[in-house]
């Protein structure tokens, strides 16, 4: 007789075979699955209770080979494509959503963006440390007054002063902000040009003009440190600029496309975990003299959750496949823009449905904060807000449809 | 508008009487000024400030359906619901606690207990010196609360001996 986890492992193997993952990808997924289950899953309770991030966790992730998935091997990375990076995100998020979130901000938003857009010097300077976990990365885009209108309302400025830029402004809801060593930051270098006056910078957080105004207390993904960051006459050399001046918008927009494809994978991993937990509970919980899994109304929920998980996965993988090999500077418009926004929109809402039903299967116990299903439930809302709200994702899709 | 309902004065309509509307306005104002500001702290600490029950008792918002002879407000059931609605609007958490006390415990005692028990418990429950709860759900008895109930009360001469556990009460 096979155990529950053996059955699930067999299922996952079949799924991977269906998507023709390469042997290398399968090995990576197996490795990440094992270490995430053994090392990251047990951290959930304390991270959630205390908004606690374990001090050495990035270094530990570096040692376990979880960082720099898309970085070249000679710089300490794994030399994989973004599809594989998303698979890694999916599996980490399944076993510890908060670590998955911090990992994504570090590995995709900061490191991968830097790889795609940074100069050779910048890449050499920061990427090895980001791959080993010696350095922790973050990305600074959202501001107190600039959310859905991130580009238009951006108020942070970078003023040229001799060989330096002087940055002033604040950023909010920045994942890894309170613990970051380097931040890929967007600021306006020419206010008169609107979105076309934005530039990207790489900021070292030991700069005296940088401070963490506050660490924020979240509903879900607790433990992944989120902060409000303030820049006060923060002076950086011109060499800290990523890409040419006033071309930040293409970095933002192409980065956001990849981010949305990653977020879809995060949703898939978490929805898959919600299914496992719902299934497990339905089989062991007995009422009216039998396991509640024997009741058709519970079976209906399980069937619907499974369908959401696999639909989100199929669509998410399709978007990721389209992202693979996306040329530098591409994205932020056209088919890829539409497809990644749609995959992200679908996955966020699919996870909402899946986790709502899986939590409901748990009855009263699912309402208790210290259950894993409750943590997943509380984490959901971010996935329909971050990386563009569901509404912004719809705007992108509709604009691309109507442009043709 | 349903003619039959309007013409049959024995049947309640979903419209509030003038008294009920006045009750709702007064209660709503009081709950917003006294309780709404407690929400943040209650959410942070997962605790009920000790001032809440005495304040509810003092203003006559406990024992809503209990006659004045037992210390209650002597209101009709619809009026009790109107007050619950206003309280939950100001503070969902206090609303939940109030309904567990006032409906699940107090009103059940009033409807089902003998006079000795009523006289013993209702005055305290109505002035807020006693806090009530109801224990039904058990770790193994949720949707099947009655069929799966394991808590027992064994008769022993003039006493009963209780054994078991209740959860999420």
Region B17-42 average pLDDT: 95
Count CB neighbours of A159 within 10 A.
14
Which pLDDT value is given to residue B13? 56
Three state DSSP letters for chain A: CCCHHHHHHHHHHHHHHHCCCCHHHHHHHHHHHHHHHHHHHHHHHHHHHHCCCCCCHHHHHHHCCCCCCCCCHHHCCCCCCHHHHHHHHHHHHHHCHHHHHHHHHHHHHHHHHHHHHCCHHHHHHHHHHHHHCCCCEEEECCECCECCCCCCCCCCEEEEECCEEEEEEEEEEEECHHHCCEEEEEEECCHHHHHHHEEEEEEECCCCCEEEEEECCCCCCCCCCEEEEEEEEEEEEHHHEECCCCCHHHHHHHHHHHHHHHHHHHHHHHHHHHHHHHHHHHHHCEECCEEHHHCHHHHHHHHHHHHHHHHHHHHHHHHHHHHCCCCCCCCCCHHHHHHHHHHHHHHHHHHHHHHHHHHHHCHHHHHCCCCHHHHHHHHHHHHCCCCCCHHHHHHHHHHHHHHC
Say if residue B157's pLDDT is above 70: yes
Three-state secondary structure along A254-285? HHHHHHHHHHHHHHHHHHHHHHHHHHHHHHHC
Q: Is A287 close to B144, i.e. CB distance below 8 A?
A: yes
Q: Give me the residue spans of the domains in chain B.
A: 3-134, 136-169
Å between A213 CA and nearest CA of chain B: 21
Residues of A assigned a catalytic role: 259
pLDDT tens digits, one per residue of A84-103: 999 999 999 999 999 999 99
| Contact B12/A at CB under 8 A | no
By C-alpha distance, the chain B residue nearest A289 is B148
Tell me phi and psi for residue B131, to 5 degrees: -115, 135
Flag whether pLDDT at A17 surpasses 70: no
* CB spacing of B148 vs A288 below 8 angstroms: yes
Find residues 29-68 of chain B whose CB sits inside 8 Å of chain A. Answer: none
> What CATH code would you report for A248-403?
1.20.140.10
* Comparison of pLDDT for A14 and A195, the residue scoring more: A195
Give the start-to-end residue ranges of the domains of chain A.
4-135, 139-242, 248-403
User: Encoding tokens for residue A308?
Assistant: 């959401």
Torsion sign (Cα): A239, A171, A56, A268? negative
Nearest-10 Cα torsion for A381, A385, A391, A396: -140
What does each C-alpha distance from A388 to A140, A141, B90 come to in angstroms?
A: 14, 12, 32
Q: Which among A167, A177, A180, A184 has a CA at the least distance from the CA of A229?
A: A177
In CATH, what number does A139-242 get? 2.40.110.10
pLDDT for res B12: 56
d(CA A140, CA A236): 16
Compare CB distances from B148 to A287, A363, A367 and report the shortest one's residue. A287
Identify the pLDDT of residue B169: 85
The gap from C-alpha B102 to its chain's centroid, in whole angstroms, comes to 2
CA–CA distance, A262 with B167 (Å, rounded to integer): 40
| pLDDT at B4 exceeding the cut of 70 | no
| DSSP annotation string for chain B | --HHHHH-TTS--SSPPHHHHHHHHHHHHHHHHHTGGGHHHHHHHT---TTHHHHHHHTT-SSTTS-GGGT-----HHHHHHHHHHHHHH-HHHHHHHHIIIIIIIIHHHHHS-HHHHHHHHHHHHHTSS-------BTTBSTTTTTT---EEEEETTEEEEE------
Per-residue confidence (pLDDT) for residue A21, from 0 to 100: 87
Tokens 């959310």 belong to residue: A147
Sign of CA dihedral B146, B147, B148, B154: positive
Tell how strand A210-215 and strand A226-237 pair up: antiparallel
Find the closest chain B residue to A287 by CA distance: B144
φ/ψ of A114, rounded to 5, equals -65, -40
User: Are residues B131 and B52 in contact, defined by beta-carbon separation less than 8 angstroms?
Assistant: no
Nearest Cα neighbor of A123 from A77, A175, A56, A61 is: A77
Q: Over the Cα atoms of chain B, what is R_g?
A: 19
pLDDT tens per residue, range A265-308? 999 999 999 999 999 999 999 999 999 999 999 999 999 999 99
CA distance, residue A285 to nearest chain B CA (Å)? 8
pLDDT tens digits, B77-111: 999 999 999 999 999 999 999 999 999 999 999 99
Tokens of A266: 């995060």
What is the largest distance, in Å, between two alpha-carbon atoms of chain B?
60
Inter-chain touch A364–B137, beta carbons under 8 Å = yes
**pLDDT, tens only, A126-159:** 999 999 999 999 999 999 999 999 999 999 999 9
Give the pLDDT band of residue A4 (cuts 50, 70, 90).
low
Long-range pairs, B148-152, Cβ under 8 A, ≥24: B148/A286, B148/A287, B148/A288
CATH superfamily of domain region B3-134: Acyl-CoA dehydrogenase/oxidase, N-terminal domain (1.10.540.10)
Dump pLDDT digits (tens) for A35-64. 999 999 999 999 999 999 999 999 999 999
Q: Inform me whether the pLDDT recorded for B6 exceeds 50.
A: no
Share of chain A above pLDDT 90, in %: 90
pLDDT of residue A2: 54
Whether domain A4-135 has CATH 2.40.50.140: the reply is no
- Residue B8 pLDDT: 52
Question: b or e along A31-42 (b: 16 or more beta carbons within 10 Å of the residue's beta carbon)?
Answer: ebbebbeebbbe
CB A266 within 8 Å of CB A101: yes
Q: Scan for tokens 């402004």, then name that residue.
A: A169
Mutate: best of A51, A219, A287, partner B, most B CBs <10 A: A287
Higher pLDDT, A3 or A167: A167
Q: What are phi and psi of B53, to 5 degrees?
A: -65, -45
Q: Rounded mean pLDDT of chain A?
A: 95
Distance from CA of B145 to the nearest CA of A (A): 9
How does pLDDT run across A194-235, given as a tens digit for each residue? 999 999 999 999 999 999 999 999 999 999 999 999 999 999
With an 8 Å Cβ cutoff, are A364 and B142 in contact? Answer: yes
- Per-residue pLDDT reduced to its tens digit, A361-389: 999 999 999 999 999 999 999 999 999 99
**Which range is least confidently modeled, A20-24, A241-245, B6-10?**
B6-10
Nearest-Cα residue of chain B relative to residue A288: B144
Nearest to A288 among B144, B167, B168 (CB): B144
The interface predicted TM-score of the complex, written ipTM, equals 0.82
Searching chain B, which residue's CA lies closest to the CA of residue A368? B168
Evaluate the CA torsion angle A177, A181, A186, A190 in order and state its sign. Answer: positive
- Name the band, by pLDDT with cuts 50, 70 and 90, for residue A329: confident
Q: Which residue has the tokens 């003009």?
A: A209
Say whether pLDDT at B64 is over 50: yes
A381 is written with which tokens?
Answer: 């809302």
CB distance A172 to A143 below 8 Å = yes
């Amino acid at each position: 007789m096979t155990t529950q986890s053996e059955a699930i492992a067999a299922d996952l193997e079949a799924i991977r075979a269906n998507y023709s993952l390469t042997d290398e990808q399968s090995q990576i997924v197996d490795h990440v699955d094992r270490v995430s289950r053994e090392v990251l899953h047990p951290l959930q309770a304390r991270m959630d209770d205390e908004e606690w991030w374990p001090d050495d966790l990035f270094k530990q992730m570096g040692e376990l080979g979880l960082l720099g998935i898309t970085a070249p091997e000679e710089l300490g990375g794994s030399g994989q494509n973004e599809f594989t990076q998303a698979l890694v995100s999916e599996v980490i998020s399944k076993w510890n959503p908060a670590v998955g979130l911090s990992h994504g901000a570090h590995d995709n938003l900061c490191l991968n963006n830097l790889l795609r857009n940074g100069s050779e010097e910048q890449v050499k300077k920061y990427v090895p440390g980001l791959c080993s976990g010696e350095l922790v990365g973050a990305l600074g885009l959202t501001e107190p007054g600039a959310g859905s209108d991130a580009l238009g309302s951006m108020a942070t400025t970078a003023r040229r002063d001799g060989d330096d830029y002087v940055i002033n402004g604040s950023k909010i809801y920045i994942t890894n902000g309170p613990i970051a060593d380097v931040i890929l930051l967007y600021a306006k270098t020419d206010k008169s040009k609107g979105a076309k006056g934005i530039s990207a910078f790489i900021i070292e957080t030991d700069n005296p003009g940088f401070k963490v105004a506050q660490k924020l207390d979240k509903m879900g993904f607790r433990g992944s440190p989120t902060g409000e960051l303030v820049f006060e006459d923060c002076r950086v050399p011109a060499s800290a600029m990523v890409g040419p001046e006033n071309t930040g918008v293409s970095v933002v927009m192409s980065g956001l496309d990849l981010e949305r494809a990653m977020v879809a994978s995060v949703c898939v991993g978490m929805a898959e975990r919600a299914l496992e937990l719902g299934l497990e509970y339905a089989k062991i919980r007995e009422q009216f003299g039998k396991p509640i899994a024997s009741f058709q109304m519970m079976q209906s929920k399980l069937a619907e959750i499974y369908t959401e998980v696999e639909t989100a996965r199929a669509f998410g993988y399709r978007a990721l496949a389209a992202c693979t090999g996306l040329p530098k500077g591409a994205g932020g418009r056209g088919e890829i823009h539409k497809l990644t926004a749609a995959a992200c929109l679908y996955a966020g809402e699919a996870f909402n449905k899946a986790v709502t039903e899986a939590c409901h299967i748990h009855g009263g116990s699912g309402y208790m904060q210290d259950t894993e299903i409750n943590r997943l439930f509380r984490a959901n809302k971010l996935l329909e807000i971050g990386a563009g709200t569901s509404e912004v994702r719809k705007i992108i899709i509709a604009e691309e449809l109507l442009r043709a | 508008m349903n003619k039959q309902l309007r013409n049959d004065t024995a049947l309640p309509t979903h419209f509030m009487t003038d008294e009920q509307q006045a009750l709702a306005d007064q209660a709503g104002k009081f709950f917003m000024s006294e309780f709404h500001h407690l929400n943040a702290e209650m959410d942070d600490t997962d605790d009920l400030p000790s001032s809440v029950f005495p304040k509810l008792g003092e203003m006559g918002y406990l024992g809503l359906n209990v006659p004045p002879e037992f210390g209650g407000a002597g209101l009709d059931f619809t009026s009790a619901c109107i007050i619950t609605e206003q309280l939950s609007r100001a503070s969902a958490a206090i609303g939940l606690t109030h309904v567990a006390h006032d409906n699940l415990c107090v009103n059940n005692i009033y409807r089902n207990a003998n006079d000795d028990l009523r006289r013993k418990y209702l005055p305290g429950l109505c002035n807020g010196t006693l806090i009530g709860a109801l224990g039904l759900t058990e770790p193994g008895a949720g949707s099947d609360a009655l069929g799966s109930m394991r808590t027992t009360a064994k008769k022993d001469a003039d006493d009963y001996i209780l054994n078991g556990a209740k959860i999420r009460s």
